[in-house]
Amino acid sequence: MGAPFNYDVLDLTDEQVDAEVRVFGALTAAVRRLNEATLRTTVDHATVEEVRRQVEELTARLEKSMIPDNFGVSFTKGGRIRGYGNAVVGIRNPNAVPLTVVQDKVNGRASAEFELNALHEGPPGQVHGGVVALVLDQVFGEAAAAGGSPGMTGTLTLRYRLNTPLGPCSAEAWVDRRDGIKTIVKGELRRADGTVTVTAEGIFILPRWAREEIAKNGGTPPQFE
């Protein structure tokens, strides 16, 4: 079986990528503010109705020209990665946390400092457990990639030890060990004061189709998002 998805290589300059990151990043940030304001506003119903009409008009302007479905992941010939739709880090995805993962390729580690707000609530004032899993999946995947053995998440096991209050928090992950095509990653989520609230272990697997491709052509698939 071949790869279930493609990575297009596009003829875009760094300047073009910088421009789209700037322009769409700003739109995404503005829509995130809208999302939070939608949840938290206390303006009267008439104002809400008026804003809704304006939002629908603005949405229709963007809908005039759209890609057919999902954004996918593409690369430029200069090596820039365009994974703008990613549910955790996608710069054009207003539902993404947002979060920037720092990779340490020397030690096979990845970390991120970020802020979770009212849009990520589970129990009152606390981060939703599924959001924790979402964030850790990405950071763990990037640790596996940073360690030179990228893979798709096969298993992700979380232990929720303490509640995680909404607000600033951080995540850290590291490659614990490798077992053939499997990379075992460990890591944790922390409150702003450093208290560990969630510990987790993930098994990241280089899929069969990627193993076959490497056996045929050499090289390593650059990422799994």
Q: Name which position in 149, 153, 164, 197 contacts ligand DCC (CB under 6 A).
A: 153
Q: How many residues bind ligand DCC (CB under 6 A)?
A: 20
The CA distance from 146 to 220, in Å, is 13
Interface residue with ligand DCC, options 182, 186, 190, 191 (CB under 6 A): 182
Give the containing element (helix H, strand E) for 178.
Answer: strand 167-179
Q: Is residue 138 part of the contact set for ligand DCC (CB under 6 A)?
A: yes
Cα-Cα-Cα-Cα torsion 10, 11, 17, 20, nearest 10 degrees, comes to: -80
CA 135, CA 204: separation in Å to the nearest integer? 15
What value, to the nearest 5°, has the Cα angle with vertex 204 and ends 224 and 190? 95
List the x/- string, 66-85, binding to ligand DCC by CB under 6 A.
---------------x----
User: Which residue type, as a one-letter code, is found at position 182?
Assistant: K
Q: What are phi and psi of 175, to 5 degrees?
A: -75, 120
Measure the CA–CA gap between 111 and 140, rounded to whole angstroms. 9
Which residue lies nearer to ligand DCC by CB, 142 or 188? 142
> Is 17 or 81 the residue whose CB approaches ligand DCC more closely?
81
Q: Compute the least distance from the CB of residue 63 to ligand DCC, in Å.
A: 28
Q: Applying CB under 6 A, which part among 29-37, 147-155, 184-192, 213-221 lies near ligand DCC?
A: 147-155
Contacts with ligand DCC, residue ranges (CB under 6 A): 81, 137-138, 141-142, 145, 150, 152-155, 180, 182, 203, 205, 207-208, 223-225
